[in-house]
Chains A and B, each alone.
Chain A
Amino acid sequence: AQSVTQLGSHVSVSEGALVLLRCNYSSSVPPYLFWYVQYPNQGLQLLLKYTSAATLVKGINGFEAEFKKSETSFHLTKPSAHMSDAAEYFCADFTGNQFYFGTGTSLTVIP
């Protein structure tokens, strides 16, 4: 059962613009939420994770995500996009006994 939904399979931003990648979860118990990044021809790399310690989570490469229970969301943001941010991004939720990954959002950064 899919428990995370990523809105927008492709997102394009200009270099220096705000990056916003959307993720909504559906689990009814406190979730474990993750964002991963995948650069071309590579495996997935952890960007950040939420484990209920703080609602605003800071990750690597200037990314952060905010857990909003009222909206069941865990959107990923970065204030200023860089060309090197072009990649595919996956939201994931640990529910029950396994991870569920979203279908991914491909981020294009326009110079």
Chain B
Amino acid sequence: DVKVTQSSRYLVKRTGEKVFLECVQDMDHENMFWYRQDPGLGLRLIYFSYDVKMKEKGDIPEGYSVSREKKERFSLILESASTNQTSMYLCASSWSPSYEQYFGPGTRLTVT
């Protein structure tokens, strides 16, 4: 079974802190994705990566950056956390861009 793990299920941070969200997949997938999920808005793509050291902006990249130094690991970075970044963050991976994505359990981030 494909397994996508995220470093934390729940996280509470203060405004202005630098926040790291880690995602690891164990199926040698080329593609990895970061989404945020908010009620009534569904999933919105923040960043994605089709290969190691490659990254592409999604629909809402402002205030975020990513890092992919190894194939299995994709990190989301909030450079200076703000309260409007309080959300559920979901990581996903896939064999190919058009193939189904496999999701991690999510990290619920609260910024106070």
Is the beta-carbon distance between B97 and A43 smaller than 8 angstroms? no
| Contact A43/B4 with A94-B98, A98-B58, A98-B97 known, Cβ cut-off 8 Å | yes
Main SS class of interface, B: strand
Is the beta-carbon distance between A101 and B97 smaller than 8 angstroms? no
Q: Report how many residues on chain B are interfacial, defined by Cβ distance under 8 Å.
A: 24
| Contact A46/B100 with A98-B45, A99-B45 known, Cβ cut-off 8 Å | yes
A-B contact count (CB 8 A): 48
What are the interface flags for B36-77 relative to A under an 8 Å C-beta threshold, 1 for contact and 0 otherwise? Answer: 000011111100100000001010000000000000000000
Q: What residues of chain B lie closer than 8 Å to A43, measured between beta carbons?
A: 4, 90, 92, 103-106
Q: What residues of chain A lie closer than 8 Å to B41, measured between beta carbons?
A: 103
Task: List chain B positions with a Cβ less than 8 A from chain A.
Answer: 4, 9, 33, 35, 40-45, 48, 56, 58, 90, 92, 97-98, 100-106
Task: List chain A positions with a Cβ less than 8 A from chain B.
Answer: 9, 32, 34, 36, 41-46, 49, 90, 94, 97-99, 101-104
